[in-house]
């Protein structure tokens, strides 16, 4: 991995600025999922144990100029971190321009970077001000590494030293295992509502995977090539592109599905062959015949890349396919890598986290990395490594 690593630096008594990804889902001031915070702890705690002066910055949500800032404040996240890191003093800083001088082995959480003018625009002045806060900048926010912003890219350009934290190192390590000479056979399971938002990643995955299993609205667009899909979610504009992919690669689509007439939680599921779907019916899950075809494919796989549910898993009668696939992946001995918000929700729902080899913290970043796009937040770290 051609980046400077935090563990290879002497950080004792140094001012360390960590760009973490603390962008967690909130219900008012209540944190509804702490997964990203917990993922950030390894780098934060390491820096504290090494007696560094640790400053952490992150964004939260997408606040606009006239929005209530309290709604997007990192203060509730600071309070949670303060409860979990009890051996060290933890402070909250509202204004980065009024930085608090903390002691070695202490931690300060900065307010939402998206409150700062010029953050989204990767403003040079702001980037330099961030860089002036520290001796060493640590990029550890994989979830925003695909964005060229002041707190991810700009600060990396101007800081004295820019390195990667443990989380970012793990993300790169595991995702490169998929993209660079993966163990074969490799399969990919790609679900989700729209093929338009995932077409580029689907195209990239097809080039490296032996088999690609598609579900959800993505599968429906493939099915619409030769079948009536009723009122199922699909994208007619992408049917021709889907057909070209299917002719070129090994893409598995459902041969039967669980369908309903109304899109509601209590709707009863009827299993139908794909060529029997009526105009008033909606495909919402895989059928049993399809699951029988998929089972041995998952069992034989040595590498599994998983992004997205294959049905409306929030509805009990249409969660069968997603649950089946999730459990088969969990029981597999393969290297399994999962990513995306809905995928993590599935993993949490069926309590299989310990059985997945690696769960990426990135949503859009996860997909961009797989697409093969050069991510600004990682690219700049590699450039800084070359110039040592």
What are the per-10-residue average pLDDT scores of the chain (388 residues)? 92 98 92 91 98 98 84 96 96 90 96 96 97 97 94 97 96 88 94 87 93 96 96 95 96 97 96 96 97 97 95 96 97 93 89 94 83 86 85
Torsion of CA 267, 271, 273, 276, to 10 degrees: -40
Interatomic CA distance for residues 124 and 128, integer angstroms? 6
Angle between helices 195-208 and 239-248 (to 10 degrees): 10
Among candidate residues 55, 60, 25, the one with its CA nearest the CA of residue 43: 55
**CA torsion through residues 220, 226, 229, 235, sign:** positive
The per-residue pLDDT for 1 is 61
The per-residue pLDDT for 193 is 84
Interatomic CA distance for residues 213 and 199, integer angstroms? 14
């Amino acid at each position: 991995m051609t980046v400077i690593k935090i563990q290879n630096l002497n950080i004792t008594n140094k001012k360390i600025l960590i760009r973490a990804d603390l962008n967690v889902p909130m219900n008012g001031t209540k944190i509804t999922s702490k997964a990203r915070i917990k993922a950030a702890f390894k780098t934060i705690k390491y820096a504290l144990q090494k007696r560094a002066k640790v400053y952490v910055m992150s964004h939260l949500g997408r606040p606009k100029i006239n929005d209530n800032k309290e709604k997007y404040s990192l203060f509730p996240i600071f309070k949670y971190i303060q409860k979990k890191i009890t051996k060290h003093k933890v402070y909250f800083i509202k204004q980065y321009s009024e930085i608090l001088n903390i002691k070695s082995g202490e931690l300060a959480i900065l307010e939402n970077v998206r409150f700062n003018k010029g953050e989204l625009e990767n403003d040079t002045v702001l980037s330099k001000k961030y860089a002036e806060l520290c001796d060493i900048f640590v990029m550890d926010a994989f979830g925003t590494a695909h964005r060229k912003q002041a707190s991810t890219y700009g600060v990396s350009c101007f800081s004295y030293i820019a390195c990667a934290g443990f989380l970012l190192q793990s993300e790169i390590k595991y995702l490169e295992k998929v993209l660079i000479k993966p163990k074969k056979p490799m399969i990919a399971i790609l679900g989700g509502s729209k093929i338009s938002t995932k077409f580029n990643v689907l195209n990239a995955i097809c080039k490296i995977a032996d088999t690609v299993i598609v579900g959800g609205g993505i599968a429906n667009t493939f099915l619409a090539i030769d079948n009536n899909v009723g009122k199922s979610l699909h994208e007619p504009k992408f049917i021709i592109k889907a057909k070209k992919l299917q002719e070129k690669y090994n893409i598995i689509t459902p041969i039967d599905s669980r369908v309903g007439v109304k899109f509601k939680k209590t709707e009863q599921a009827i299993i139908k062959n794909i060529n029997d779907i009526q105009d008033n019916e909606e495909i919402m899950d895989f059928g049993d015949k399809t699951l029988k075809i998929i089972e041995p494919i998952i069992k034989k796989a040595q590498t599994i890349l998983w992004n997205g549910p294959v049905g409306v898993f929030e509805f009990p009668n249409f969660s069968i396919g997603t649950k089946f696939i999730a459990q088969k992946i969990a029981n597999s001995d393969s290297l399994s890598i999962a990513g995306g918000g809905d995928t993590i929700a599935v993993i949490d729902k069926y309590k299989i986290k310990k059985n997945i080899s690696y769960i990426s913290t990135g949503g859009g970043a996860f997909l961009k990395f797989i697409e093969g796009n050069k991510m600004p937040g990682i690219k700049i770290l590699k450039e800084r490594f070359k110039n040592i």
